[in-house]
């Protein structure tokens, strides 16, 4: 009897000619962007969702337009160990992506601490930092959307975002008090 707790996965199986290479690079980047993992060569998988199904369908259409062949498959692993390995690979990619956002935010938090310690705060520096916070937040949200299994890797990044936002609020109050 099958294990009902197994996750349904979507797999995109594709072949593309070697030229032009930009087509293969396009597909690779789109798969990386969405967080797909390669189960085997030219077989990329993601946990099933309506959003990811639409994404894979769009990519399949592109592959066919590039002159390639593509099949979209719904699958369930028969061996729990196989699923565990793919899930771990998927979660490792999520951890890496959260780590990238985290490093961006740590650098920004350090910069903000320096800015807010100055006697006279440079408004342009704070506005640039605010833009970086928003950029980091968008990057974080993209990763969080792909965090299908709800890993705990994003907690630290969320705390750094909150800390940076608090520093911006402190700056706003300081500048409002100075102009009042």
Q: Which of 90, 111, 117 is nearest to 160 (CA)?
A: 111
In total, how many domains does the chain have?
2
What pLDDT is stored for residue 171 in this prediction? 67
pTM above 0.75, yes or no: no
What are the pLDDT digits (tens) for 54-89?
A: 999 999 999 999 999 999 999 999 999 999 999 999
Report the pLDDT value the prediction gives residue 65, as an integer from 0 to 100: 96
Quick one: pLDDT at residue 172? 64
Q: Is there a single domain that holds both residue 100 and residue 67?
A: no
**pLDDT value for 3:** 42
Residues of the chain under the 50 pLDDT cut: 1-4
Query: How many other CB atoms are there within 10 angstroms of residue 150's CB atom?
Result: 10
Domain CATH number, residue 65 = 3.30.70.240
* pLDDT tens for each residue of 16-28: 988 899 999 999 9
The owner of tokens 């085997």 is 40
Has residue 142 been placed in a domain?
yes
What angle is formed at CA 128 by the lines to CA 179 and CA 137, rounded to 5 degrees? 115
Domain match, 48 and 72 both: yes
Residue 54 lies in a domain: yes
Does residue 131 lie in a domain region?
yes
Predicted pLDDT at 163: 76
Three-class SS state of 142: helix
Q: How many CB atoms lie within 10 A of CB 140?
A: 22
**pLDDT value of residue 177:** 63
Q: Which residues contact 66 (CB under 8 A, 6 or more apart)?
A: 16, 17, 23, 26, 27
105 and 128 housed in the same domain: yes
Query: What is the structure's pLDDT at 120?
Result: 64
Residues 68 and 102 in one domain: no
């Amino acid at each position: 009897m099958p294990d009902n707790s197994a996750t349904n996965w979507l797999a995109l199986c594709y072949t593309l000619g070697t030229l032009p290479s930009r087509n293969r690079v396009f597909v690779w980047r789109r798969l990386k962007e969405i967080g797909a993992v390669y189960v085997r060569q030219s077989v990329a998988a993601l946990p099933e969702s309506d959003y990811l199904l639409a994404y894979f369908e769009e990519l399949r259409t592109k592959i066919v337009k590039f002159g390639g062949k593509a099949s979209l498959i719904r699958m369930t692993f028969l061996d729990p160990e196989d699923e565990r390995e793919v899930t771990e690979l998927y979660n490792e990619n999520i951890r890496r992506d959260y780590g990238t956002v985290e490093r961006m935010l740590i650098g920004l938090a350090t910069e903000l601490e320096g800015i807010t310690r100055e006697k006279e705060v440079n408004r342009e520096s704070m506005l640039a930092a605010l833009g970086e916070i928003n950029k980091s937040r968008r990057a974080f949200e993209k990763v969080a959307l792909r965090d299908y299994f709800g890993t705990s890797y994003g907690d630290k990044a969320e705390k750094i975002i909150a800390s940076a936002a608090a520093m911006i609020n402190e700056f706003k109050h300081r500048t409002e008090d100075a102009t009042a």
